[in-house]
Amino acid sequence: MGTPSAPDVVVNTTGLTKRFGSTVALSDVDLEVRRGEVFGWLGPNGAGKTTTLRLLMGFARPTAGAIRVHGRDPWRQPAAVHREVGWLPGDPAFHDRLTGRAHVRMAARLRRSPDDDKTADAVTERLGLDLDRPVGTLSRGNRQKLAVVLALLGGPQLLVLDEPTSGFDPLVQQEFQALVREHAAAGGTVLLSSHVLGEVQRTADRIGVLRAGRLVAVEEMSVLRGRSLHRVQARFDAPVRAADFAGVPGLRDVQVTASTLRCAAPAAALDALVGRLARHRLTDLECTEADLEETFLAYYGGEPGGR
């Protein structure tokens, strides 16, 4: 079933749709994730991110459309897909009385990969985790580290990570981001979900944005950075009108009150904007670059917590 995918396509979906009763969790999603890239899967709570990843793992069956991992249908061939995938669930479950190392050994036995203690020790040391403590005594962040260790066991080609950095402090986040980048640099592929751009902006090569189950954008991170908005505030020695600044391409959120203009402009619009400003007598000008999260919300709308 499905068309064969090109060799560098690791995950592809066509018309992927999942409904739960009357709830449409995913609607007609077409997506390709390629070898060697880190793909950020972004959207507010309830947008359908986890549903996508669960379909990828074969834990649920699409209502319509298809998802393939290296051309395989995860619903029909879950074991073959799981052999290639390191999975970090959004709410990892552990046996509280067993140590981290016992979990590693169990997972290694399931994967039949004897070298896993070495992988586990290397990752554990980098993230700063004690594998010899019962999991029930670990903090949330440390349990999350163990989930990362387990996802990396056996050197999977594809890492599928559902909100992986929740609970990490900034230093651990940095180390985790380095692990993700190294995985991609070695030819691996990473698909990671998040509801905030800030969490994936340092690691992702591309992002896909989901909103209420629909794919609203797929963007190279470098393009998004290029669209980065500037907040501009200009004061003049006499009242101005919004119409004086109409037609500057890309200008957003224009507010004019008496002799003050406030607006947002992508870098590409600054030159035209300055031309318009210069038609009046300026008394003050401020221009500050918005952070990427703000740029992202301006383009894709909505609150990070809203659906």
Ligand X SMILES: Nc1ncnc2c1ncn2[C@@H]1O[C@H](COP(=O)(O)OP(=O)(O)OP(=O)(O)O)[C@@H](O)[C@H]1O
DSSP string, 213-262: TEEEEEEEHHHHHHT-EEEEEEEESS---GGGGTT-TT-EEEEEETTEEE
- How large is the angle between the packed helices 116-127 and 170-185, nearest 10 degrees? 140
Smallest distance from the beta carbon of 23 to ligand X, in angstroms? 5
Nearer to ligand X, 107 or 196 (CB): 196
Residue for token pair 């809203």: 306
Report the site for ligand X in 130-149 (rule: CB under 6 A): none
Smallest distance from the beta carbon of 166 to ligand X, in angstroms? 10
Among 72, 83, 195, 235, binds ligand X (CB under 6 A): 195
Smallest distance from the beta carbon of 46 to ligand X, in angstroms? 4
Distance CA 62, CA 15 (A): 10
Dihedral angle, C-alpha 242, 244, 248, 252, nearest 10 °: -10
Amino acid at 94: F
Nearer to ligand X, 100 or 208 (CB): 208
- CA distances (Å), origin 246, targets 78, 99, 230, 258, 298: 55, 64, 17, 16, 19
Nearer to ligand X, 129 or 215 (CB): 215
3-state helix, strand, coil in the chain (%, to 5): 35, 30, 35
Identify any residues that bridge with 231 across adjacent strands, giving them in sequence order: 264, 288
Nearer to ligand X, 27 or 142 (CB): 27
Dihedral angle, C-alpha 29, 72, 38, 294, nearest 10 °: 10
Identify any residues that bridge with 41 across adjacent strands, giving them in sequence order: 193, 208
Nearer to ligand X, 20 or 301 (CB): 20
By CB under 6 A, how many residues form the interface with ligand X? 13
Binding mask of the shown chain, residues 17 to 56, with x at each position contacting ligand X by CB under 6 A: ---x--x-x-----------------x-xxxxxxx-----
Distance CA 55, CA 39 (A): 17
**Strand positions, DSSP E, the chain:** 9-20, 23-34, 38-42, 64-69, 85-88, 158-162, 189-194, 206-211, 214-220, 229-236, 252-257, 260-266, 282-289
Smallest distance from the beta carbon of 144 to ligand X, in angstroms? 15
State the DSSP code for 1: -
Nearer to ligand X, 196 or 292 (CB): 196
Smallest distance from the beta carbon of 303 to ligand X, in angstroms? 13
Smallest distance from the beta carbon of 54 to ligand X, in angstroms? 7
Binding mask of the shown chain, residues 90 to 119, with x at each position contacting ligand X by CB under 6 A: x-----------------------------
Nearer to ligand X, 41 or 176 (CB): 41
Binding mask of the shown chain, residues 74 to 93, with x at each position contacting ligand X by CB under 6 A: ----------------x---
Nearer to ligand X, 204 or 264 (CB): 204
Smallest distance from the beta carbon of 45 to ligand X, in angstroms? 3
Smallest distance from the beta carbon of 75 to ligand X, in angstroms? 15
Residues that bind ligand X (CB under 6 A): 20, 23, 25, 43, 45-51, 90, 195
